[in-house]
Amino acid sequence: MRALRIGNASGFYGDRFDAMREMLTGGELDVLTGDYLAELTMLILGRDRLKDPGAGYARTFLRQLEECLGLAHERGVRIVANAGGLNPAGLAVAVGELAERLAIPVRVAHVEGDDLTARHPGSLAAHAYLGGFGIAACLREGADVVITGRVTDAALVTGPAAAHFGWRPHDYDRLAGAVVAGHVLECGTQATGGNYAYFQDGDVRHPGFPLAELHEDGTAVITKHPGTGGLVDIGTVTAQLLYETSGGRYAGPDVTARLDTIRLTQDGPDRVRVDGVRGEPPPPTLKVGLNRLGGFRNEVTFVLTGLDIDAKAALVREQMAAALGKVAEVRWDLVRTDRPDAPTEETASALLRLVVRDPDQEAVGRALSGAAVELALASYPGFHVLAPPGKASPYGVFEGVYVPHGAVDHVAVLHDGRRVPVAPAHETAVLDDVPEPVPPEPLPPGPTRRAPLGLVAGARSGDKGGNANVGVWARTEEAWRWLAHELTTGRFQQLIPESRELTVTRHTLPDLRALNFVVEGILGEGVAAQHRFDPQAKALGEWLRSRHLDIPEALL
């Protein structure tokens, strides 16, 4: 059976608008997917739905289809997207109306069952992560467009693959291969040179979106349309495989994929073969993402210029103390961007950032604003702020909980209105830790030089709720032999000081020459809570790469 060509045209709500057209016109495709959802997106859509019960889906997807639905129909490309968000039925109706208005004869189906908000009082949105068999049911019955709500990102690939190849729920190795391909595709151009540690290896000014040539046995080739920007090599694929994962087992509702079995091979220019992936039964529960309003936040950044930076910071903190006395959470961060004898005022200045949170909107609203503004003529010399503090804004909190598979009514709603129940997983297995693999032979002793880790290792980092993961990989076997022994959990905590009081777990993936660190609680209550300067830990890996260690000169 020929390979199934599955492309991606969106990695998040707000991704490149023209990507759908680029993918439909740039080369051959069978299925085009789009991932529009993230933990923060679900909160945003939940707030939209509070204002308008008919909202709750990604409106840009509908605008993209207005331009591209005819193209997809002409080329025989099916479209599968989780743009339905909190309201997949509403988006399916809107797509059907659009098709009718454009006189394009397409069949639109959608997937329901993920919405558990009614079972979780106090939540703004509570949605289970569904698998791909609801999508597969829609496609098997002839759907041209399938709209979902909260499915796993990889389900956008496992569903079309299961439908095309006739896979069944017990085909774990095949499904695991599709999960890995789906995980590589889900973030769009992150697989083709975007956000890549070695971005200077190729022209990434306008990277093309990725696609997978998926085979019946679950193997895949990751590539992109000819002539598009960016690059696809073992490094770009490795980076995306490590993104927002942890150990050797990558659990999902259809299958648990063994990341420690993946083999990557360069299969020609901009082509990486992915094979060897093994699969196991899924865990007995489904993850449910709970989003709720956590309270209100506000912030102001004071600019401190020239001499006596620490003393100026201490003065303004003392002056603000009375106004902040009853606020639930107060955080001060002094960012020393200043330098001695600076040639510009900007480079002579440091930033003192104040962030406050409280259940009471007034406590962090006008009260904070008034106290900060009143210091304008009564504080340190050179007093000014980046912007006046505004009104308090609500912030969200994300929490992951778990329910049995049978607690969710997974349903494929076909284009003709028929409702097809999707059976829960027939076999499950409790996740166990993968045994720590035998480390490689260490490098022989030799001279070292103090240098940044990033000279010999790449990294990519991201968020899962309040936790962050940092994947680090070596590009050569020699660098791996050093990295596996040098970058211990203790060394990681030494290099990333804010992790020292937190639980950090290291996972080893020898076939990828990679280490993956999970830092628990570093993001507080999730991205919507904006707990730290980099609330999604997007740059945590790049900070780690900039830290200096004693590196063998042979690697430099």
> 442 lies in a domain?
no
Which pLDDT score is estimated for 32? Answer: 98
Q: How far apart are CA 84 and CA 94, in angstroms?
A: 10
Which pLDDT score is estimated for 283? Answer: 97
Q: How far apart are CA 333 and CA 317, in angstroms?
A: 11
> Is residue 226 packed enough to be buried (19+ CB in 10 Å), middle (13-18) or exposed (0-12)?
exposed
Same domain for 463 and 341, yes or no, is no
434: pLDDT confidence band, cut at 50, 70 and 90? Answer: confident
Q: Side-chain half-sphere of 400: how many Cα atoms within 13 Å?
A: 13
Tokens of 401: 């909980």
Same domain for 154 and 199, yes or no, is yes
- Tell me the mean pLDDT in the region 191-200: 98
> 436 lies in a domain?
no
Share of the chain above pLDDT 90, in %: 91
389: pLDDT confidence band, cut at 50, 70 and 90? Answer: confident
Same domain for 539 and 467, yes or no, is yes
For the chain, first and last CA: distance in Å? Answer: 47
- CATH code (residue 298): 3.30.70
pLDDT digits (tens, 9 = 90+) for 240-257: 999 999 889 999 999 999
Same domain for 388 and 405, yes or no, is no
pLDDT digits (tens, 9 = 90+) for 75-86: 999 999 999 999
Print the domain residue range for 190: 4-289+400-421
- Tell me the mean pLDDT in the region 517-545: 91
> 319 lies in a domain?
yes
More confident residue, 47 or 270: 270
Cα Rg of the chain, angstroms: 25
Same domain for 313 and 368, yes or no, is yes
Least confident of 1-15, 181-195, 321-335, 521-535: 521-535
Same domain for 284 and 160, yes or no, is yes
Judge whether 145 and 126 are in contact, CB under 8 Å.
no
Share of the chain above pLDDT 70, in %: 100
Of 457, 449, 552, the C-alpha closest to 513 is 457
Same domain for 411 and 461, yes or no, is no
Which pLDDT score is estimated for 546? Answer: 98
Q: How far apart are CA 176 and CA 207, in angstroms?
A: 27
Which pLDDT score is estimated for 297? Answer: 92
For the cut 80, the answer to whether the pLDDT of residue 536 exceeds it is yes
For the cut 90, the answer to whether the pLDDT of residue 181 exceeds it is yes
Same domain for 498 and 384, yes or no, is no
- Tell me the mean pLDDT in the region 386-413: 93
- Tell me the mean pLDDT in the region 268-274: 98
Total domains, the chain = 3
Which pLDDT score is estimated for 95? Answer: 98
Same domain for 327 and 452, yes or no, is no
Which pLDDT score is estimated for 390? Answer: 85
pLDDT digits (tens, 9 = 90+) for 449-462: 999 999 999 999 99
Which pLDDT score is estimated for 292? Answer: 92
Name 353's Cβ contacts closer than 8 Å, sequence gap at least 6.
299, 300, 301, 302, 332, 333, 334, 335, 533
> 160 lies in a domain?
yes
> 223 lies in a domain?
yes
- Three-class DSSP category at 243: coil
pLDDT digits (tens, 9 = 90+) for 24-62: 999 999 999 999 999 889 999 998 998 999 999 999 999
Same domain for 371 and 471, yes or no, is no
Same domain for 271 and 409, yes or no, is yes
> 508 lies in a domain?
yes
Which of 337, 365, 397 terminates a domain? The answer is 397
- Please report which helix (H) or strand (E) contains residue 91, including its range: helix 88-102
User: What's the 3-state SS for 387-429?
Assistant: CCCCCCEEEEEEEEEEEEHHHCCCEEECCCCCEEECCCCCCCC
pLDDT digits (tens, 9 = 90+) for 289-333: 999 999 999 999 999 999 999 999 999 999 999 999 999 999 999
> 22 lies in a domain?
yes
Q: Model-level pTM?
A: 0.95
Same domain for 193 and 279, yes or no, is yes
Amino acid sitting at position 284: P
Name 27's Cβ contacts closer than 8 Å, sequence gap at least 6.
211, 225, 226
Strand partners, 513: none
> 441 lies in a domain?
no
The mean pLDDT of the chain is 96
Least confident of 88-92, 362-366, 403-407: 362-366
State the angle between helix axes of 172-185 and 234-242 in degrees (0 to 180), rounded to the nearest 10: 100
